[in-house]
Structure 1
Amino acid sequence: MEKSKAKALGVAPLSAIDLPHAEYVRAAHAAGFGAIGLRLEAVSVTDVPFPRDRGSKDFRGIVSALAETGLEVLDVEVLSIRPDTTREEWLPLLELGAELGASYLNVVGDHPDLTAFADIVAALTVDAEIFQIQPVLEPVGFRPLNNFDTAVQIARAAGCGVELDVLHYMRTEADFSTIADNPDLFPILQLCDAPTELSGHGERLIPVARSRKMVDLMIAEARDLRLLPGHGNAPIGELLAALQRTARISVEIPNTELRAGRPAPEYLRMLASETTAYLGSITGSERAKDLPTINRKEQNRVE
């Protein structure tokens, strides 16, 4: 598949993680998104497993959906690097990602020794170059790799990138200068909003966590209570200004409250419309050309 260079608005799989993959592709396209992420490796038991057998009906269905819609596969998820992670774990992801046309592989750090983690990332980056895929490290507040400064140092040494998830930027209390001083390292900005502190959700997180049997409220927020842009306190405008010429934007907003009663395709259309309206409201006309866009033709066709 040929990789598109168009700066279309993307959507991350967690925004509609319950949809079978081919349905997700078509729903994202109908919503007006021009790029998607695909989750090849499940993170939770509720994630829909990705078919690894390329000869299977399910895998062929995904490939057909991508071909029919013309959607770009921006990135594939998610490689968790642990002490026992080896090439045998990441090579199949890279092969599958390359066949799907992905540009990036999302990587999270679950290795307690970050020096050893950096060595593994370096080896991964060498292998990934063969497949024309760039690994992007995602610092997460509830994982060992939970610091953007550290991620930048590792990425700079290894030759890979860093993914800027707005929620994790907030929860790791990242320094804005780390982002602004290293724009070349951030090819993806995963867009959502959040209150300044976890406690800003009030009591809303508790029933969400209980329903998912989650002990860590930070995990519950990340998977089920991300906010629409402009509905929290994240410095989205500043982050976009710092990365506007380097980063692609991918919407990652799972929110059980907003989703309640909405079919997934309708929810994705709402995310596309709300995000595009927000981006237009905070961006001056002189920078409009740098904004990602949604496919209004497709969106209007289903409304």
Structure 2
Amino acid sequence: MTGNARRLVGLAQLSLVNTAPPELVGIAAQTGFDFIGVRVRPVTPTERPYNLQPGSPMLRDTLSRMEDTGVTVRDIEFLLLDGSDQREAWLRMMEAGQALGARSLTVAGADPDSLRLVHTLARMTADGRGFGITPTLEAISYQPVASIAQAADIARQAGCRIVVDTLHFNRYIGPGAAAQWEELSANADLVPLLQLCDGPAVRPDSSEALVAESRSEREVPGEGEFGLAEAVAALPDGLPVSAEAPSDRRVAELGELGWARLLKSGVDAVLAEAATRRDTENLHTAAAK
């Protein structure tokens, strides 16, 4: 389905957040993606909810489309861990994820108490084993857990993993920001998925603008200044990548299918650049021996 024989390429739900999962499967198939991510729980009160619990009509429709196209579901989302008891919520999410064949559940750390967050994630990780799903903690630039180093430290204590989003990776400016690249390489063993998007080097100047960019104003991979090929090359060869690039404006201009097609082209170009970069580095290493 994809021109990248070396790795799987996915389409994140956030890229087309108003597209129901059955239709997202169809769009992914038409544009060459191997898998999709699915929001089995809405993030905001205004977001369209998708009922994918076992027995639901939408789940049956999604599974049917998956069987017809070969597109799979690799990850589900999204839960903001804020220190409250959300076990019932994540168990329902895991039920839906298991039915879809997902491997991971993306969460973010909004709890300022890191010890409590570790405990929450450890309990969530233990629950996930029964569903074949591992929590993946995402460092988000405007949440308490904002850096790769923070996310990795918490994940190692809790026994879970981390997902890397290139937007938040580039927008983090807190303690240790200068070491983000080193932390990415040092914790590559924790990363099951890299989410790709692009954007300008200049960071938005307010929290509100950061949130707006994150949810609805990202750029096509390769069209901005994020150094995506370097991020791909810093992680294991063959690691799955997912296009997570919402843009309300460009979806309105191009339509869902056109936007997905543009994202796939952008990801392919980034992966080709990363492969060239890796091959060049290997040649230099061999020549130096």
TM-score range, shorter chain: 0.7 to 0.9
More moved, 107-116 vs 29-38: 107-116
In the alignment, residue 113 of structure 1 is paired with which amino acid?
A: D
Could you state the TM-score of these two structures normalised by the residue count of structure 1? 0.83
User: Is the aligned partner of 1:100 residue 2:92?
Assistant: no
Q: Counterpart in 2 of 1:223? A: 215
Using the alignment, how far apart are the partners of 1:287 and 1:45 within structure 2? 46
Indicate how the Cα distance of structure 1 residues 115 and 51 shifts in structure 2: closer, same or farther if over 3 A, else same: same
Partners of 1:186 and 1:246 within 8 A in 2: no
Using the alignment, how far apart are the partners of 1:158 and 1:111 within structure 2? 15
Q: Counterpart in 1 of 2:64? A: 64
Partners of 1:187 and 1:246 within 8 A in 2: no
Using the alignment, how far apart are the partners of 2:55 and 2:123 within structure 1? 30
Could you state the TM-score of these two structures normalised by the residue count of structure 2? 0.87
Using the alignment, how far apart are the partners of 1:15 and 1:161 within structure 2? 23
Indicate how the Cα distance of structure 1 residues 47 and 29 shifts in structure 2: closer, same or farther if over 3 A, else same: farther
User: Secondary structure, in 3 states, of the residue corresponding to 1:284?
Assistant: helix
Partners of 2:139 and 2:151 within 8 A in 1: yes
User: Is the aligned partner of 1:281 residue 2:273?
Assistant: yes
Q: Counterpart in 1 of 2:54? A: 54
Partners of 2:229 and 2:273 within 8 A in 1: no
Using the alignment, how far apart are the partners of 2:6 and 2:100 within structure 1? 17
* Shift in Å, 1:52: 4.1
* Shift in Å, 1:84: 1.4
Partners of 1:193 and 1:232 within 8 A in 2: yes
Q: Counterpart in 2 of 1:194? A: 199
Using the alignment, how far apart are the partners of 2:255 and 2:77 within structure 1? 24
- Structure 1 stretches of at least 4 aligned residues deviating more than 3 Å after TM superposition: 285-288
Using the alignment, how far apart are the partners of 2:145 and 2:112 within structure 1? 8
- The equivalences for 1:148-227 within 5 A come to 148-173=148-173, 174=177, 175-199=180-204, 216-227=208-219
User: Secondary structure, in 3 states, of the residue corresponding to 2:254?
Assistant: coil
Using the alignment, how far apart are the partners of 1:227 and 1:159 within structure 2? 33
User: Is the aligned partner of 1:123 residue 2:115?
Assistant: no
Match of 2:246 among 254, 275, 296: 254
Q: Counterpart in 2 of 1:291? A: none
Using the alignment, how far apart are the partners of 1:84 and 1:139 within structure 2? 19
* Shift in Å, 1:60: 1.4
Q: Counterpart in 1 of 2:287? A: none
* Shift in Å, 1:38: 0.4
* Shift in Å, 1:121: 0.5
- Structure 1 residues 8-43: Cα deviation after superposition (integer angstroms, max 9, x where no partner): 211110111111221111111111100110001101
Using the alignment, how far apart are the partners of 2:234 and 2:97 within structure 1? 28
* Shift in Å, 1:260: 3.0
* Shift in Å, 1:6: 7.9
Indicate how the Cα distance of structure 1 residues 286 and 112 shifts in structure 2: closer, same or farther if over 3 A, else same: closer
Indicate how the Cα distance of structure 1 residues 53 and 169 shifts in structure 2: closer, same or farther if over 3 A, else same: closer
Indicate how the Cα distance of structure 1 residues 88 and 257 shifts in structure 2: closer, same or farther if over 3 A, else same: closer
More moved, 80-89 vs 188-197: 80-89
Using the alignment, how far apart are the partners of 2:6 and 2:97 within structure 1? 19
